[in-house]
């Protein structure tokens, strides 16, 4: 919200007005949505750029409280992953590799120099895998709640795995998933679901629900939802991050809401032990989407951390 002091009226900005310059880019024949915002100071824009990657069901709009702040001293990009937001929602098989390829091709097309990858939830998983697979792309990594999808199968006792997998096949039957989509895409239901992800129910606004539900009205959305849900429950959806994290050799910041009800806080402590370059910051009064729930705190943590790395001359500076 901004105040026009010339006439003392209140000007309310929608999320569309807070997320930079939105553009469309055709990737593999699919129209995809991205945004960018450059620093007004060319001297400051020598810092490594940032790429923001949203979580499940979200879009670049979910970074409405972060993008402008981070763009004060660097160029910031945001991408709607295929299947979500303003990007196309093709009826295809979905996995982390698909989105990693999208991120890498976006980097090659628009960025072309080492950058800071910032992700939330599934977006943080995409960022981690992308940084591991293409080390020339990422100079460092910020993850807001990192899901360990590969751990689920490991936690199920071997004798029970056939039973659990059978139950999954029933639940993931397309007619049932189409019915689930119709239910969760209702505003009242979506708001209740969002309140599980947020510690403070007051942060679940109509504007936030609009970010999640407007793309759900598109014709392709139901089929894409079914494919994404089926993909996420597959054992091949994501690499094992407990094997991946120890191999990383760049600074990594893990931000975790202390009231995250989507992923247990204890998961962060387990991940922290896997790599000495991983730094954990627990955030009070925040749930699964801390970047949107306590954006001032998250923005400050990211800026302070990046400044500290720059002071140690770890982050490269563009001399061009």
Mean pLDDT score of the chain: 88
Low-confidence winner among 140-154, 155-169, 177-191, 219-233 (lowest mean pLDDT):
155-169
What would be the CATH architecture of the domain defined by 2-311?
Answer: 3-Layer(aba) Sandwich (3.40)
- For residue 296, what are the contacts with CB-CB under 8 A and spacing of at least 6? none
Q: Measured between alpha carbons, how far is 61 from 58 in angstroms, rounded to an integer?
A: 7
Question: 């980097």: which residue's tokens?
Answer: 107
Q: Containing H/E element for 282?
A: strand 278-283
Q: Measured between alpha carbons, how far is 98 from 124 in angstroms, rounded to an integer?
A: 14
Domain residues of the chain, as ranges? 2-311
Residue 188 has a pLDDT of: 95
Q: Measured between alpha carbons, how far is 50 from 46 in angstroms, rounded to an integer?
A: 12
- How many CA atoms, within 13 angstroms, populate the side-chain half-sphere of residue 215? 27
Task: Please determine, for residue 244, whether its predicted confidence score (pLDDT) is greater than 90.
Answer: yes
Low-confidence winner among 52-56, 114-118, 150-154, 161-165 (lowest mean pLDDT):
161-165
Helix/strand/coil for 26: strand
pLDDT tens digit string along 2-61? 444 444 444 456 777 778 899 999 999 999 999 999 987 766 567 899 999 999 999 999
Across the beta sheet with 252-257, the strand order is 21-27, 30-37, 76-79, 50-53, 115-120, 138-144, 252-257, 278-283
């Amino acid at each position: 919200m901004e105040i026009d002091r010339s006439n003392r009226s209140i000007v309310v900005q929608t999320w569309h007005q807070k997320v930079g310059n939105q553009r469309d880019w055709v990737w593999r024949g699919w129209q995809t949505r991205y945004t960018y915002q450059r620093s007004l100071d060319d001297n400051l824009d020598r810092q490594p750029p940032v790429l923001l990657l949203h979580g499940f069901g979200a879009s670049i709009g979910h970074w409405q409280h972060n993008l402008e702040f981070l763009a004060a001293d660097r160029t910031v990009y945001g991408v709607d992953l295929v299947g979500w937001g303003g990007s196309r929602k093709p009826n295809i098989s979905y996995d982390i590799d698909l989105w990693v390829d999208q991120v890498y091709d976006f980097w090659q097309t628009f960025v072309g120099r080492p950058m800071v990858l910032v992700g939330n939830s599934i977006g943080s998983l995409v960022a981690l895998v992308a940084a591991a697979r293409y080390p020339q792309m990422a100079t460092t990594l910020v993850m807001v709640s990192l899901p360990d999808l590969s751990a689920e199968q490991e936690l199920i006792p071997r004798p029970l795995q056939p039973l659990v997998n059978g139950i999954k096949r029933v639940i993931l039957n397309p007619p049932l998933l189409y019915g689930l989509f119709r239910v969760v895409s209702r505003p009242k239901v979506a708001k209740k679901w969002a309140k599980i992800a947020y510690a403070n129910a007051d942060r679940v606004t109509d504007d936030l629900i609009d970010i999640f539900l407007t793309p759900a009205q598109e014709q392709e959305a139901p089929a894409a939802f079914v494919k994404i849900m089926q993909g996420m429950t597959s054992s091949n959806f994501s690499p094992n991050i407990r094997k991946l994290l120890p191999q990383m050799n760049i600074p990594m910041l893990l931000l975790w809401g202390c009231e995250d009800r989507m992923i247990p806080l204890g998961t962060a402590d387990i991940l922290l032990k896997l790599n000495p370059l991983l730094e954990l910051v627990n955030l009070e009064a925040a749930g699964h989407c801390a970047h949107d729930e306590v954006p001032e705190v998250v923005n400050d943590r990211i800026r302070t951390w990046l400044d500290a790395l720059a002071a140690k001359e770890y982050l490269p500076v563009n001399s061009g």
